[in-house]
């Protein structure tokens, strides 16, 4: 009986963690930039947690923000796809993870492609 109760409590805890992680949002999730320039992104960050949590850039040990509830903008410069983690401040438990994708836009590519197409038509 005690084992069944323990299993039920662990299952319930995992559902609570998933529900808490659902209150975490980063917007936008895509950043477009020109070649040879970094992507400067004004990121809207929001979460609602029961206990204090911190937002980390995945490979960075220092937090960007810490609070139990937050709704603010954060300006970042990104050069590649970047993952962000929301972690519990006291336990370090991973609550949620989101990724911002960075895509490079080459506005000259379509002009060059069109010129190559026209050159292959030949002269009438």
Q: What's the rounded Cα separation, in Å, for the pair 8 and 56?
A: 31
pTM of the model: 0.67
Q: Of the candidates 108, 80, 93, which has an alpha carbon nearest to the alpha carbon of residue 51?
A: 93
**What is 23-106's CATH topology?**
Immunoglobulin-like (2.60.40)
Mean pLDDT lowest for which of 70-79, 80-89, 99-108? 99-108
| Mean pLDDT (the chain, rounded) | 79
Q: What's the rounded Cα separation, in Å, for the pair 104 and 80?
A: 9
Give tens-digit pLDDT for 7-29. Answer: 444 444 444 444 445 489 999 99
On whether the CB atoms of residues 88 and 111 are closer than 8 A, the answer is: no
Give tens-digit pLDDT for 33-57. Answer: 888 888 899 999 999 998 999 999 9
Q: Of the candidates 34, 37, 49, 36, which has an alpha carbon nearest to the alpha carbon of residue 89?
A: 49
Residue 95: in which H helix or E strand, if any? strand 94-105
- Domain borders along the chain are 23-106
């Amino acid at each position: 009986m005690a084992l069944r109760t323990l299993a039920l409590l662990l299952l319930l805890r995992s559902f609570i963690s998933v529900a808490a992680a659902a209150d975490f949002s980063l917007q936008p999730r895509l950043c477009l930039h020109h070649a040879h320039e970094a992507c400067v992104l004004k990121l809207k960050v929001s979460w609602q947690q029961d206990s204090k949590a911190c937002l980390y850039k995945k490979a960075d040990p220092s937090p960007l923000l810490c609070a139990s509830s937050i709704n603010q903008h954060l300006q970042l410069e990104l050069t590649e796809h970047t993952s962000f983690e929301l972690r519990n401040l006291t336990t370090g438990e991973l609550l949620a993870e989101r990724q911002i994708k960075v895509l490079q836009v080459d506005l000259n590519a379509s002009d060059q492609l069109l010129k190559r197409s026209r050159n292959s038509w030949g002269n009438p």
